[in-house]
Amino acid sequence: MAGYMGVRVHNATVNIDNEEDDKSPTWEFTTEGMTARRTVKIAWSDAFDFCSQMCGAVEHASGNMYDFVQGHLFPYKTRYQNLRATKARIQRFGGSTPAPANADSGHSKLINHSHADVEIDYAPQMWEIEGLVEETFDPSMEYMTHSNRKLYWDAGQADELKTDEAPGVIVHQATWVYTLKRWPHIPSIVTGGSLEGKINEYDVDSLRYNITFPARTLLYIAPDMTETVDYTGHPIHRLTYQLLYKDTEWNKSYKAGSFTPAIIYNADGNQEKTYQEADLRQLFIEEA
């Protein structure tokens, strides 16, 4: 876990009394998979806390360590054992009563009911911290014209390639988009700008695709940050990183007469680095 932000994973604890509806649960099957829904009856005064417990949360513990409470695990045994709560909605009963004289300014009505129906939606979860992370990986390629120098049409090296006969090389690339969907704060390493435009000094792991990007193959562009609030008014941040992947390493180039990328050295005998290296693992999370 060295270098990464660590996440300790916990199961949701629901300690509020609720009563399952007679027609609950229900399942829905589509070409994209299966989801489920439960409907429960609950005291109105507990409804909002109950929804919060069902959907989980993530909190900053200390340093680069976080605690993630997963969405509630579907309580009924099925052939699919990875259904987690992703959404909860409250249906109230009755109307509203006038607010008391000491109500907050601007609130003219006070909801006053005995019970509520709460619908909980469950969806498949492929891995434990899927509720925190989204990833996409979009392959692409770059066509690069190679130098014609030191290339020949014959083994005797008498017929050298002309400029307009230079061969092309396909360089495989991709854009890896990594999103922290519900983060309690923005890490200083993200806002400081010290990592932008740099390549990974160490290998970086993709949780979604279960692959490892070798050192010096990822170029970090910049973060995209948005902010919302949860039902208690606390901020929730969505952080999206874009990284360009290049399988030949970013600090290697093609030498005339060779189709194998190589390191370039300067007059001092040191590697000439177009892109500086940094520990990009600090941007990503890993289960502790």
- Asked if pLDDT for residue 102 goes beyond 70, the answer is no
Tell me the average pLDDT across 15-19: 92
The DSSP bridge partners found for residue 141 are 172
Whether residue 139 is found in the same domain as residue 267: yes
Whether residue 217 is found in the same domain as residue 236: yes
pLDDT over 70 percentage in the chain: 91
The DSSP bridge partners found for residue 244 are 175, 219
* Spatial CA neighbour of 247 closest among 170, 179, 177: 170
**Are the C-beta atoms of 215 and 203 separated by less than 8 Å?**
yes
Whether residue 41 is found in the same domain as residue 138: no
- Asked if pLDDT for residue 106 goes beyond 80, the answer is no
Write down which residue in 124, 156, 181 finishes a domain: 124
Tell me the average pLDDT across 121-150: 84
Residue 191, φ and ψ in degrees, nearest 5: -85, -15
Write down which residue in 99, 124, 149 finishes a domain: 124
Whole-prediction pTM value? 0.80
State the Cα–Cα distance between residues 162 and 90, nearest whole angstrom: 74
State the Cα–Cα distance between residues 12 and 54, nearest whole angstrom: 7
pLDDT for 193 equals 82
Tell me the average pLDDT across 42-49: 89
Q: How many domains does the chain have?
A: 2
At 280, the pLDDT band (50, 70, 90 cuts) reads very high
Whether residue 32 is found in the same domain as residue 67: yes
All residues at 6 or more sequence positions from 121 whose CB lies less than 8 Å from its CB, including other chains: 35, 36, 37, 85, 86, 87, 88
Comparing 14-23, 83-92, 249-258, which segment has the lowest mean pLDDT? Answer: 249-258
Residue-number span of the structural domain to which 11 is assigned: 5-124
Whether residue 282 is found in the same domain as residue 157: yes
Whether residue 98 is found in the same domain as residue 162: no
Residue 146 is classified by DSSP as P
Query: Collapsing DSSP states into helix, strand and coil, what is residue 226?
Result: strand
Comparing 14-23, 103-112, 133-142, which segment has the lowest mean pLDDT? Answer: 103-112
pLDDT over 90 percentage in the chain: 42
Whether residue 21 is found in the same domain as residue 158: no
Tell me the average pLDDT across 132-158: 85
Whether residue 30 is found in the same domain as residue 81: yes
- Asked if pLDDT for residue 93 goes beyond 70, the answer is no
State the Cα–Cα distance between residues 165 and 146, nearest whole angstrom: 10
- 155-189 confidence digits (pLDDT tens): 988 898 888 888 887 877 899 999 999 899 888 88
All residues at 6 or more sequence positions from 46 whose CB lies less than 8 Å from its CB, including other chains: 16, 17
Write down which residue in 103, 124, 145 finishes a domain: 124
pLDDT for 50 equals 94
Whether residue 115 is found in the same domain as residue 168: no
At 111, the pLDDT band (50, 70, 90 cuts) reads low
Whether residue 86 is found in the same domain as residue 225: no
pLDDT for 26 equals 93
Residue listed under structure tokens 């490892």: 212
Question: Chain-wide mean pLDDT for the chain?
Answer: 86
At 89, the pLDDT band (50, 70, 90 cuts) reads very high
- One-letter amino acid of 89: R
**Are the C-beta atoms of 150 and 117 separated by less than 8 Å?**
no
Whether residue 152 is found in the same domain as residue 107: no
State the Cα–Cα distance between residues 172 and 185, nearest whole angstrom: 35
Instruction: Return the half-sphere exposure (C-beta side, CA atoms, 13 A cut-off) of residue 197.
Output: 7
Whether residue 31 is found in the same domain as residue 78: yes
All residues at 6 or more sequence positions from 53 whose CB lies less than 8 Å from its CB, including other chains: 12, 13, 14, 15, 16, 72
